[in-house]
């Protein structure tokens, strides 16, 4: 078997120049026709979007500048719109996205995460190779994420939440909305349809010729498929991290302060202005929503693009107290509900906001603005 994407190809530099080079390399036409394949022309911009270094709007403006026909860019723009859509659901539903949102997941038999997934030991070569590379690189092809979710939820009969937490914790582009709601989509709790893929599908898109696995069945067989022996052992997937050294309180100045965090590392925010910039790492947030050491280190590395950034490990309340009444500015985000100060909007691709029960209701409105 040959899996064309290796950890070398899934490489994510943290410097601003390399990120801009990656944006310039976008090929919307090739992306549209190859994105589902292991060796497709992916943008590999997800980690920078999720960490708030760039926005979907930032990428869309570049795609527009290519002066291509709408039909040539629509698929790429639509995939960017999925990100905005999931974010809008999160804004509307808040912590409800952490449990079955629209439909109850049924036919559950196990809890936790399948040990075969955590240990990359499913016996399906493309899956196991991808998971091993995932631990090395912090990235999974989107199609592979769906395969793994389907194995956990619809073949292994595990509730989606714990496996989703495991995946989120290890993704450099981990985003609670995109991740958790995509898992719900696969599990049939966001829409009332479940997603499954058989071995033939995996072989087609991931350059494999493997046979005789527990997925090597026709689709109609999934309705009565017993949980494979390989998936009957669970693993908690517990993750612990070491936080970087925090700044000393005396380093903070009592002046206008921009608060950055795991979801906002925008190097162009108030660029050139005389403000204090603080990257706030709140242990309470990461205890509730754990991430791997690789993901935390990646975020801290991205923060070095922000001139003069100061790093603080602690609570927002502690930061506010140390600033002693100085103006605080932050970007809107569901995990910032406890922040106090001046809240600014994130950059969205369109003016279409609010909750839509399905993506295409959102897309049909957004498309009217985007296709102009």
Would you say residue 6 has pLDDT above 50?
Answer: no
Would you say residue 3 has pLDDT above 60?
Answer: no
Q: For residues 200 and 117, is the Cβ–Cβ distance under 8 A?
A: no
What average pLDDT score do residues 228-240 get? Answer: 87
- Beta strand 342-344 with 328-331 is parallel
- What pLDDT sits at residue 237? 67
Identify the residue whose tokens are 């936790």.
112
pLDDT digits (tens, 9 = 90+) for 241-290: 888 888 776 789 999 999 999 999 999 999 999 999 999 999 999 999 99
User: Hey, where are the domains in the chain?
Assistant: 1-238+348-372, 249-340
Computed over its alpha carbons, how large is the radius of gyration of the chain?
A: 21
pLDDT digits (tens, 9 = 90+) for 32-81: 999 999 999 999 999 999 999 999 999 999 999 999 999 999 999 999 99
pLDDT digits (tens, 9 = 90+) for 126-161: 999 999 999 999 999 999 999 999 999 999 999 999
314 φψ region: left (φ > 0), alpha (ψ -120 to 50), beta (else): left
- What pLDDT sits at residue 215? 98
Residue 32 CA, chain-centre distance (Å), reads: 20
Is 6 or 177 the better-scoring residue by pLDDT?
177
Q: Which of 355, 28, 338 is nearest to 181 (CA)?
A: 355
Report DSSP state, residue 151: I
- The sign of the CA dihedral 145, 147, 151, 153 is positive
Q: Which of 234, 183, 205 is nearest to 39 (CA)?
A: 205
- Rounded Cα distance, 140 and 172, in Å: 9
What CATH code is assigned to 249-340?
Answer: 3.40.50.620
pTM of the model: 0.95
The 10 Å Cβ neighbour count of residue 187 is: 27
- What pLDDT sits at residue 239? 75
């Amino acid at each position: 078997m040959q899996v064309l994407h290796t950890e070398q190809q899934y490489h994510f530099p943290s410097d601003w120049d390399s990120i801009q080079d990656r944006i310039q390399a976008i090929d919307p036409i090739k992306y549209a026709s190859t994105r589902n394949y292991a060796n497709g022309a992916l943008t590999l911009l997800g980690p920078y979007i999720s960490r708030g270094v760039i926005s979907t709007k930032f990428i869309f403006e570049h795609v527009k500048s290519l002066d291509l026909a709408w039909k040539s860019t629509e698929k790429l723009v639509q995939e960017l719109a999925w990100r905005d859509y999931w974010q809008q659901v999160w804004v509307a539903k808040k912590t409800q996205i952490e449990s079955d949102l629209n439909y109850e997941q049924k036919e559950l038999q196990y809890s936790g995460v399948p040990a075969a997934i955590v240990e990359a030991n499913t016996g399906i070569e493309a899956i196991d190779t991808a998971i091993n590379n995932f631990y090395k690189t912090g990235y999974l092809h989107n199609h592979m994420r769906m395969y793994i979710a389907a194995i956990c939820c619809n073949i292994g009969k595990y509730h989606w939440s714990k496996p989703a937490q495991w995946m989120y914790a290890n993704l450099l582009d981990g985003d609670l909305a995109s991740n958790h709601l995509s898992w719900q989509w696969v599990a049939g709790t966001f829409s009332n349809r479940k997603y499954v893929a058989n071995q033939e599908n995996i072989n087609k898109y991931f350059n494999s010729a493997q046979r005789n696995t527990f997925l090597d069945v026709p689709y109609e067989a999934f309705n009565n498929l017993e949980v494979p022996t390989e998936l009957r052992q669970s693993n908690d997937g517990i993750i612990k991290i070491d936080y970087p050294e925090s700044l000393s309180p005396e380093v903070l100045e009592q002046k206008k302060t921009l608060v950055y965090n795991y979801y906002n590392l925008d190097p162009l925010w108030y660029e050139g202005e005389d403000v204090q910039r603080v990257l706030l790492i709140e242990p309470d947030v990461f205890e509730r929503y754990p991430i791997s050491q690789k993901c935390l280190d990646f975020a801290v590395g991205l923060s070095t693009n922000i001139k003069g950034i100061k790093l603080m490990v602690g609570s927002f309340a502690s930061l506010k107290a140390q600033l002693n009444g100085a103006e605080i500015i932050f970007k809107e985000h569901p995990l910032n509900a406890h922040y106090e100060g001046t809240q600014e909007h994130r950059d969205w691709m369109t003016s279409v906001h609010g909750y839509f029960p399905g993506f295409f209701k959102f897309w049909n409105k957004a498309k009217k603005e985007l296709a102009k």
